[in-house]
Chain A
Amino acid sequence: MSKIRVLPDRVANQIAAGEVIERPAAVVKELVENALDAGATRIEVEFNHGGRSYMRIEDNGSGMSRDDALLALERHATSKIAEADDLNRLATFGFRGEALPSIASVSHFTLQTREASTDAGVEIVINGGRMVHVRDCGRPVGTRIEVSHLFNSVPARRKFLKTDTTEAAHIIHGVRLYALAFPQVAFSLIEDGRAIFRSPQCTTFEERIAGIFGKQTAEGLLTLEADEPGMKLRGLVGRPGVGRSTRHEMICFVNQRPVDSRTLNYALIESFHESLPKGRYPVAFVFFDIDPAAVDVNVHPAKREVRFRSEASVRSFVIRAILGRLREFGQAAAPVAVGNGNAGAATIGDTGRIANQPLAPQVAPSVTSSVITAIPERRVKDNAPYLQPQAPIQPPSPTAATVAPTQPAPPRSPTRAWRFLGLAHGAYALFETPAGLVLLDRRAAHERIWFERLQAQFREGQVPSQRLLLPVPVELDSIATALLLDRLEFFNGHGFEIVEFGRNFFRIESVPAWMEPTDAEPFVRDLLGALREGRLQEKNVDVARDELARLAVAKAIRLPEAAGEAELQGVLTQLFACRAPLTSPLGRPTQIELSHGELARRFQK
């Protein structure tokens, strides 16, 4: 007897089931995908005991004929592709033709289906891979699959299932993903006879999110829409400062398929780098559409991972799109339309044109036109006296490429849209705004202002440096010495003047003008620490500068204890002239808004 045998189908299916069907959630996933592929507009998922004892997926899709249904239970039988080339044009979820037979081989499996063209449906019952019966049955058009006693025939797999709650969580998460991806399909999810959610057919994605994740989450989101040849990004992302402690609400779809893509995840986290504190993850529901040929979904049997042909371009596109949107939002959130300053130089003596000029500061050219037209006519007139007498003033730095920073801007009209109410604990300023109340964190606001100020100084290479009366001595170990010697030019180019003064010994002779002399030594040590950790890469000067600025703001800010209205209004004006006014450079929010709705809710009105 030969030692090598071809395994019977049943065994082969059980083995395949090990790959595709690792837990109840995988069954739900495969079957919901099938339902969607069948063009269903209503899908109902029910499960008991974390799916281990019973799962039911019912749809109103196209259904199957008797022959098709039988064939579907064969391995590698699929309606979705016909030849290998089709893999490159995949527009459906399934294609491997493994799911149904795999599931059927490890459970008690009941399939009922009817095509629109036939009068009677067909019912197939399979137990542990063995056919029990095939017979006619009555049912509406569509398919209903019941899976019970999952892994009864594979005790090893059954043992490795987690608790019911964990398995249930996986199922719920999975169904949510598909529900998000297909707002036009009605979804119901029932656990142990209790509805987790019922979401009718939704016209918009926002409605669907509110239906599934709750209104509160939905209110903290921004719509996103970006296009580039071959790539498209849309969806909703959290506002700056809105974050979660886990990645669970960072959900990506590629060509409508929920995936776990490192590229996209990193791009998301990177985009929120400035808008969220370290260790917080953004809330994001994004749909990334790309030519199916440029993406490989056949990496993992469960199709959870995808690979892009060109990871770098995908990544940079996503970052650009999201960052752009976040900044745009930051600008639009300003209490009055900001930036009527910079338009001045270009339109001297022609105030009438101002309203039609792009008024935003140069760094954020994408302020929507609605913001611009929102500037009251009177405000424009207010500016007129400032504009007219403006003599041509020599730009201080003729080398600067952009016009805006070098042209002196006329002073802004004071912000009157937000009324200052008071300062709490010396730390939080309370403002009354048209939308409700805003609490401003003074420190975070100053951090943002200083951060961008320092960034600008670094960029323009104009870092004022204050020489010290008494040079500050710094003694370092030999590793730090080597590092410092290596980066001496970087340090000295950013406001310091550090000279070597013997073996492992340095003297700080100048510090950046904003720095207290006492802070110089600890700051240099902190910087060296950051260098050692590789946070200040010399390769990328911009990144290094940002990091430097981030470290520096903590030292630069000295808040006076009391602050009056004028000062805080000034802070507000400066803050909203920033690129990203809503978060501190470490990603903490600078302000909390209590909307009228929120207030009414809290007071139970």
Chain B
Amino acid sequence: MKFKINRDHFSNGLAQVLNVVGSKATMPILSNVLIEADKDFILLTTTNLDLGIRCKIKADVKESGAVTLPVKRLASIVRDLPNVDVSLDASPNHQVKIASGGSNFRIMGIGKEEFPPLPEFAEEKSFNLEQAELTSMLKSVSYAQSTDETRYILNGVYFSFKEGKLTLVATDGRRLALTNKEIEVPATSAGSIILPAKTVAELVRMLDKGEKVKISFSERRAAFQINTDKDSSGLVDSIYLYSKVVEGNYPNYNQVIPKETHQRIKLERELFLQCVHRAALVCSEKSNSVKVKLSSNLLEITAQSPDFGDAHESMAIAYSGPELQVAFNPQFIMDPLRALAKDEVFFEVKDEVSPGVFKTLESFICVIMPVRLS
């Protein structure tokens, strides 16, 4: 195998696939990147068996072939090479020569045979989406995923393609974020998956490289084909992301979304976020809650911690309902506010034991459960 490649393109390609490789790989081959040269491009592939990424970069291939190299080390070397032109030459014993300007490296690789193949994907159910749209949908729910590893079902984002809608849901048992969008769902393609948190993070990072993204899934796997037509640093065609999905039944989220609206207020998102953020500065691990109090045209946010002090914020709102007060974990309020882009959000509350609900005009819902002092 022998090819010439632009240093920055190569480096960019390696950066795409780098994150998958864990620091504690169980098999040495899993810390390597598979480099396959063919025609006028090279393919870079990494996998940790749960998640695999493949991207395609243009290169001047003299001799096709394949080899695997330790990806972290390779990425650092390539990034720091002195000259933009890099040539790479692999001998049959998997020794790879990298030359750029005056620097020459010889690196020991491992044969391609040992590299676990990415799953073959027989196309089952697939949908085409806009990348920008998927990004904003993912961002608006992904913060609510559970990080508690014992609750693996909730360690991911639930994708549901049903009844003419794509619905994304994430919850950790104390709050739930949901967003949906109308798309065409043929009866044969309806279905749902839970996409693991790590895949979600990678996906968000990859998106916005082009117009379209194609999602295909079966009961056990999901694949994303991310178009890279907007990219100008060497990526060609698409990036492929193959992931296992979390197997299990996602909890019935519909039952936790309050059916009726009690007191609804319209809030300026930024302003509310800042108020809560400031009030939360006095919170401690010991007393991690802020009180939200509604009274006639006034919203007050208070927080206190016994060994530090207290904070009081107020903002004018349009409200004429009964006076009421409810306490929340400030993080639960701030997360959705940060993730949204709209200037205005609606906040619905009922009493101190009922959930608070954030809504926007575009079918976004975030339910957060209150905290109480017993």
Contact = CB atoms under 8 A, between A and B. Distances in A.
Nearest to B148: A516
Given A469-B355, A516-B151, A408 B371 contact: no
Given A396-B304, A408-B308, A513-B289, A464 B373 contact: yes
Interface string B162-187: 00000000011111100000000000
A493 interface: yes
Contact of B374 (A468, A495, A516, A519): A495
B171 A469 contact: yes
A510 interface: yes
Given A408-B306, A409-B307, A463 B373 contact: yes
Interface string A391-411: 001101100000001101101
A470 B256 contact: yes
A465 B374 contact: yes
A600 B133 CA distance: 66
Contact of B371 (A393, A469, A513, A519): A513
Contact of B288 (A464, A495, A496): A464
A492 interface: yes
Contact of A497 (B172, B175, B374): B374
A510 B373 CA distance: 11
Interface of B: prevailing SS: loop
Contacts of B102: none
A388 interface: no
Contact of A393 (B148, B287, B310): B310
A494 interface: yes
Q: Which of A405, A408, A409 has the most CB of B within 10 A?
A: A408
B103 interface: no
Interface in A366-400: 393-394, 396-397
A467 interface: yes
A330 interface: no
A456 B175 CA distance: 27
A258 interface: no
Contacts of A462: 287, 373
Given A408-B309, A464-B289, A469 B174 contact: yes
A510 to B, nearest CB: 7
A417 B288 CA distance: 30
A466 B306 contact: no
A408 B289 contact: no
B173 A469 contact: yes
A283 B182 CA distance: 73
Contacts of A408: 306-310
Contacts of A456: 286
A394 B150 CA distance: 42
A92 B77 CA distance: 87
A517 interface: yes
A518 B306 contact: no
A453 interface: yes
A457 interface: yes
B306 A469 contact: no
Contact of A453 (B148, B150, B286): B286
Q: Which of B171, B308, B327, B369 has the most CB of A within 10 A?
A: B369
B369 A466 contact: yes
> What interface size band does chain A fall in?
35 or more
Contacts of A393: 309-310
Interface string B325-345: 001010000000000000000
Contact of A492 (B255, B256, B371, B374): B374
A492 B374 CA distance: 7
Nearest to B369: A467
B306 A517 contact: no
Interface string A219-257: 000000000000000000000000000000000000000
Given A396-B310, A466-B329, A518-B173, A513 B288 contact: yes
Given A408-B307, A513-B371, A457 B150 contact: no
B156 interface: no
A465 B286 CA distance: 12
Interface in B71-99: none
A467 B370 contact: yes
Given A464-B372, A469-B175, A492-B374, A513 B329 contact: yes
Contacts of B309: 393, 408
Interface in B225-271: 251, 255-256
B59 interface: no
Contacts of A394: 310
B367 interface: yes
Contacts of A519: 150
Interface string B359-374: 0000000010111111
Contacts of B318: none
Contacts of A496: 374
B175 to A, nearest CB: 7
B353 interface: yes
Given A405-B307, A469-B367, A517 B174 contact: yes
Interface in B280-324: 285-289, 304, 306-310
A575 to B, nearest CB: 14
Interface string A116-137: 0000000000000000000000
Contacts of B307: 341, 405, 408-409
A409 B284 CA distance: 13
B259 to A, nearest CB: 15
A394 B256 CA distance: 38
A518 B148 contact: yes
Nearest to B287: A464
B312 to A, nearest CB: 11
Nearest to B352: A467
Nearest to A405: B306
Given A464-B289, A467-B353, A470-B173, A510 B372 contact: yes
A405 B306 CA distance: 6
A445 to B, nearest CB: 14
A465 B151 contact: no
A465 B171 CA distance: 18
Given A393-B310, A408-B307, A465 B373 contact: yes
A513 B173 CA distance: 12
Contacts of A518: 148, 150-151, 173
B374 A493 contact: yes
Contacts of A516: 148, 150-151, 173
Contacts of A470: 171, 173, 251, 255-256
A589 B290 CA distance: 36
Nearest to A450: B285
Contacts of A510: 372, 374
A469 B374 contact: no
A463 B286 CA distance: 10
A584 B23 CA distance: 33
B372 A517 contact: no
B368 to A, nearest CB: 9
Interface in B121-160: 148, 150-151
A157 to B, nearest CB: 63
A467 B288 contact: no
Contacts of B369: 466-469
29 contacts: A341-B307, A408-B307, A408-B308, A408-B309, A411-B308, A453-B286, A461-B374, A462-B287, A463-B373, A465-B372, A466-B329, A466-B369, A467-B355, A467-B370, A467-B372, A469-B173, A469-B174, A469-B175, A469-B256, A469-B367, A493-B374, A494-B374, A510-B374, A513-B371, A516-B173, A517-B151, A517-B172, A518-B148, A519-B150
List the 8 closest pairs (A to B, CB-CB), nearest first: A517-B173, A467-B369, A408-B309, A518-B151, A469-B256, A516-B148, A465-B372, A465-B374
Interface of A: 341, 393-394, 396-397, 405-406, 408-409, 411, 453, 456-457, 461-470, 492-497, 510, 513, 516-519
Given A408-B308, A461-B374, 18 more contacts: A396-B304, A396-B306, A406-B306, A408-B309, A409-B307, A456-B286, A462-B287, A467-B369, A467-B371, A467-B372, A469-B355, A494-B374, A510-B374, A516-B151, A517-B148, A517-B173, A518-B150, A518-B151
